[in-house]
Amino acid sequence: MDSTQATAQETGCNRKTVLVGVTGCIAAYKSAEIVRGLQKAGVRVKVVMTEHACEFVGPTTFRALTREPVAVKLFDEPGDPIHHISLAQEADAMLIAPCTANVLAKLACGIADDLLTTTALALTSPMIIAPAMNVHMYENAATRKNMGVLHTRGVHFVEAADGYLACGDTGKGRLADVDAIVAETLKVLGIGCDLAGRHVLVTAGPTVEAIDPVRYISNHSSGKTGYAIAAAAARRGAEVTLVSGPTALEAPFGVHVVDVRTACDMLAAAEEAFKICDVAVFAAAVSDMRPKNPADRKLKKGEADEALSSIELVENPDVLATLAAAKTSQVVVGFAAETNDVLENAQAKLARKHADMIVANDVSGELGFGTEENKVWLVGADEVEDVPRLAKTEIADIVLDRAVRLLED
């Protein structure tokens, strides 16, 4: 048997193979990011392209990314006369992204007039389709019918997104978010779904405590850490509630976001989700204090308004400590933002706040607030894990790995 004819099981270990089909669409360049996203999850990727797709992005790009031959024409694999069959057999799933209206129509009718559609017809493993096209083509009754037909045959769809389209129109038709497409494909493959059926609560971002209608007390949290954890938990199959202070970040795919401003709002919103969650991660930088009597008009400097030079503060509720004190079976993960004695302070917080783990970070230097990377220690009752400097997205998975272990204990 030719090496390209190995079945999915024979490709080694438990590594799954995804055949990514790329069709002729302006969004074809995004397929490269999709390939990288799947590879990051440990998936072996092979690519098949239509000839029209090659007008938008070259096979060399995918050959370099996958280190595998890239198939375009039915007869361009000299060592394998029935290439469409071997490609279909190798695949644990086929993902067509972007998928044009034309290819959708062919798939719905069973037309097989090039390598991609012939392979799709020979496929026995699951198929995922992420369509991309003009809004009117997307909404056309023929396209909707074709999608319906494929849906009833068990094809998984990642619906197109709303927005500005390359043709100048606005509406539904943009290729869905790359993360969403990768997440759906991994879900279909059953990869990394160790939080499936679990509820995860995450707090993120700063809180904002009003002094008067124009001034407030807050901090430098960007929300990146909490959002990365929420996105990772959703990718791993969890139902995620993200209680977020004000940030400039987009809601992660598949996450239920509850926007709040103050510590008191954050506690109220988190309380509900905490009752039903399995894991709660408190990454928010909550203001410890708030003005006792926020003014309802702008305070002026000078003698008339001494209130501005002396603001009376009261303590905010501690969201983590309040909820953890009432925990039943939840795994509770807190954070500690420290400028000195990082591990000692984190250990004290672990005990004082009834957490199962504290993610400690040193915010006295260049890392912590607003950065893409961080350096953390995972502080548990019996051990401290020193995590090297990594992207916050990578730290998110490491924190969740540990939370999953605590869940299973």
Token output for 297: 């008009």
Token output for 347: 């250990």
- Using the minimum distance from each CB to ligand PMT, give the nearer residue, 223 or 254: 223
Interface region with ligand PMT, contact rule CB under 6 A, candidates 28-36, 78-86, 145-153, 329-337 = 329-337
Q: Is 223 in the site for ligand PMT (CB under 6 A)?
A: yes
Determine whether 167 is an active site residue: yes
Per-residue interface string for the shown chain with ligand PMT, residues 227-266, x marking contact by CB under 6 A:
------------------------------------x---
Q: Is 284 in the site for ligand PMT (CB under 6 A)?
A: yes
Residues facing residue 285 across a β-bridge: 206
Distance CA 206, CA 285 (A): 5
Other CB atoms within 10 A of residue 151 CB = 13
Geometric angle at alpha carbon 245, from 242 and 248, rounded to 5°: 95
Q: Is 337 in the site for ligand PMT (CB under 6 A)?
A: yes
- Using the minimum distance from each CB to ligand PMT, give the nearer residue, 129 or 230: 230
Between strands 255-259 and 239-244, the pairing is: parallel
Q: Are 51 and 61 in contact (CB under 8 A)?
A: no
Token output for 143: 């396209």
Q: Is 290 in the site for ligand PMT (CB under 6 A)?
A: no
Q: Is 334 in the site for ligand PMT (CB under 6 A)?
A: yes
- Using the minimum distance from each CB to ligand PMT, give the nearer residue, 19 or 208: 208
Which amino acid type is present at position 380? G
Q: Are 364 and 358 in contact (CB under 8 A)?
A: no
Closest distance to ligand PMT from the beta carbon of 333 (Å): 8
Closest CA to 127 of 246, 21, 262, 238: 21
- Using the minimum distance from each CB to ligand PMT, give the nearer residue, 47 or 281: 281
CA distances from 259 to 18, 94, 239, 329 (A): 37, 37, 17, 26
Distance CA 283, CA 370 (A): 13
Question: Which residue of 23, 89, 221, 244 would you call a contact of ligand PMT, by CB under 6 A?
Answer: 221
Per-residue interface string for the shown chain with ligand PMT, residues 167-206, x marking contact by CB under 6 A:
------------------------------------x---
Question: Which residue of 285, 379, 396, 404 would you call a contact of ligand PMT, by CB under 6 A?
Answer: 285
Distance CA 95, CA 73 (A): 18
Query: Catalytic one among 25, 54, 167, 264?
Result: 167
Question: Which residue of 46, 187, 235, 349 would you call a contact of ligand PMT, by CB under 6 A?
Answer: 349
Q: Is 342 in the site for ligand PMT (CB under 6 A)?
A: no
Q: Are 364 and 342 in contact (CB under 8 A)?
A: no
- Using the minimum distance from each CB to ligand PMT, give the nearer residue, 19 or 263: 263
End-to-end CA distance of the chain: 46
Closest distance to ligand PMT from the beta carbon of 372 (Å): 9
What is the contact surface with ligand PMT in residues (CB under 6 A)?
A: 203, 221-225, 263, 282-286, 288, 316, 318-320, 334-337, 349, 361, 363, 368-370, 392
By annotation, the residues acting in catalysis are: 167
